[in-house]
Amino acid sequence: MKKQPSLDALNPFMPGAGMRPPELVGRDADIENVDRMVARTKLGNLNQGIIFSGLRGMRKTVLLLALQDASSRQGIVTARLEAKGDIGTDWDMLFHEIALATARVKSLRLRRKLASALASIDSVQFSFLGVGAGVKLSDEERRRTNPFRLELMVESLSRELAKANTGLFLFVDELQEMDDEPLGALISLQHKMGQEGLPFYIIGAGLPNLPGVLSRSRSYAERLFEYRTIGQLPDSDTAEGFQKPARANGRPFADDALDELVKVSHGYPYFIQAYGKAAWNASDSNPTLLEAVRAGEPEARRELDEGLYASRWQRAKTSGREYLTAMAKINGDEPCDSSAVAAEMGKQPKEVSMIRESLIQLGLVYSPEHGKIAYTIPGMGEFILRAAPTMGQTYDGRR
C-alpha cells in the first residue's frame, strides 16, 4: 500500500527569500500591467519600464519571477539578475544573463540571428578608444568599453527582436545595490532605446529608496519608468493568501482562526507564510482552529526572527546596532527624526551621520523623506526591543 504523505509534508506555506508562495495574492494589477506591456511590445508600441519598491518581506523577488515567467510564456525574451554592488560582478552578470536569454529563444531561426548579432560585438571598432576593427578586446579594453558594448548588444538584439514582433525585458532585483557605472549605463540605455523606438525594457525591484537612487544616477529616470509601491496587502487579500492554499490542500482555517491570522500577519506576505506554516503544523483538527493558530505563534515569531531579522541585525557593527536600537526606543517600527536618534544616543547629528550612512548602505534603513529615517524590514523595531538583548546587545540608551 502506498504510504500517505504526512500533514507536515502537505503544508503549503513556505517562508524563505525568493520562494514562491502557493498563491501570489494582491498582485493582479501588476501582472495585468506587464501583460499589457507584452501586448504593446508585440504590436510595436512603446512602453515605460517598471520599478517596484517596498520594504523587505513584501515578496518583490517572487513578483519579479512571476512577471518574468508570464512574459516568457508570451514569447518575450527575458533576462534576470540580482545586483550585487560590485562593478565587475554587475557588468559580468549583465552580459552573461542577456547572452543566456538569447540562447533560450525557441525559434532556431531567430536564435541564429541573435547569435550572429552577439558575435560581432567583441570585434567592433572603437576608434576613439584606440581599438582596431577585427581585434579581440583585452580585459582592460573590455572594462573601458563595457557601456558601449552593452549598448551595442542591446541595440543589435532589440532590432532583431523588433522584426520578430517581440522584445527584450531585463528583470533586475535589488536594483538599488547596483554599482553606479552599470546602473547609469542601464538607465541611459533605456532612454536611448525609447528614443530609437526599440523594444528593451527594465523591470526592476528594490527597497523604498530605489526611486531616489535612480533619479540621482540620471535625472531623467523619473520619466523613463512607471513607479509602483509594493506594500501591505488588504485584509481580503491577506485572508485569501491563508485560506486558498489551505483549502486546496484539504484543511482550511476556521473563521476565527483566519481572523487571527489576518490580524497577526499585518498583511505582510512573508508573515503570511510564517504564520500559515506554524498554524498548519500545530493543528490536529480539520478545519484548523484558533487554538492551533495561537499555539503556532511562537514558532512563527522564531521563523521570522531567523529568516528576516537576526542575520541583518548581526550584519551591523556595534555602533550601527546602537543606532538601530535608538530608533526602536524612540518610535518602535515607525519612521523617526534623524536628529532624535542622535539625541537618544547622546550625540550630535553630525557625529552619527557616518553610522546612518553605513546602515543605509547595508540596506537596513532608508530615508523616506529629508530628516527622517526608517527600517527597511517591517517589525524590525519590535524585534530589537524584544529579542536584541539576548543577542549580545549592550546599548542601554544615552551615554
CATH code of 195's domain = 3.40.50.300
In a domain, 8, yes or no: no
Residues 110 and 187 in one domain: yes
- Locus of grid cell 536564435: 111
Domain at 260, CATH number: 1.10.8
In a domain, 11, yes or no: no
Residues 249 and 343 in one domain: no
Residues 217 and 305 in one domain: no
Residues 6+ apart with CB under 8 A from 106: none
Residues 60 and 131 in one domain: yes
Residues 320 and 307 in one domain: no
Q: What is the pLDDT of residue 399?
A: 31
Residues 322 and 282 in one domain: no
In a domain, 19, yes or no: no
In a domain, 214, yes or no: yes
Nearest to 156 by CA among 181, 129, 124: 124
Residues 204 and 223 in one domain: yes
Residues 161 and 215 in one domain: yes
Contact in structure between 203 and 31 (CB atoms under 8 Å): no
Q: Which of 229, 264, 288 is the last residue of a domain?
A: 229
- Which helix (H) or strand (E) segment is 309 a member of? none
Q: What is the pLDDT of residue 141?
A: 65
Residues 62 and 124 in one domain: yes
Q: What is the pLDDT of residue 118?
A: 87
Q: Which of 210, 229, 248 is the last residue of a domain?
A: 229
Q: What is the pLDDT of residue 15?
A: 82
Residues 222 and 323 in one domain: no
Nearest to 70 by CA among 30, 121, 18, 125: 30
Domain at 382, CATH number: 1.10.10.10
Q: What is the pTM of this model?
A: 0.87
In a domain, 18, yes or no: no
Residues 77 and 222 in one domain: yes
CA dist., res. 194 & res. 206, Å (int): 23
Per-run averaged pLDDT (10 residues), the chain, 399 residues? 54 77 83 96 96 93 94 97 95 95 93 88 52 56 81 94 97 96 96 96 96 95 95 95 94 97 95 96 95 96 91 92 96 93 95 95 92 94 85 40
In a domain, 397, yes or no: no
Q: What is the pLDDT of residue 120?
A: 74
In a domain, 377, yes or no: yes
Q: What is the pLDDT of residue 223?
A: 93
Q: What is the pLDDT of residue 129?
A: 47
Q: Which of 289, 311, 333 is the last residue of a domain?
A: 311
- Number of neighbours of residue 370 by Cβ within 10 angstroms: 6
Q: Which domain holds residue 265?
A: 235-311
Residues 41 and 98 in one domain: yes
How many domains does the chain divide into?
3
Q: What is the pLDDT of residue 393?
A: 44
Residues 6+ apart with CB under 8 A from 236: none
Nearest to 172 by CA among 50, 89, 86, 73: 50
String of DSSP letters for 328-391: HHHHTTS-EEHHHHHHHTTS-HHHHHHHHHHHHHTTSEE-SSTTEEEESSTTHHHHHHHHGGGG
In a domain, 72, yes or no: yes
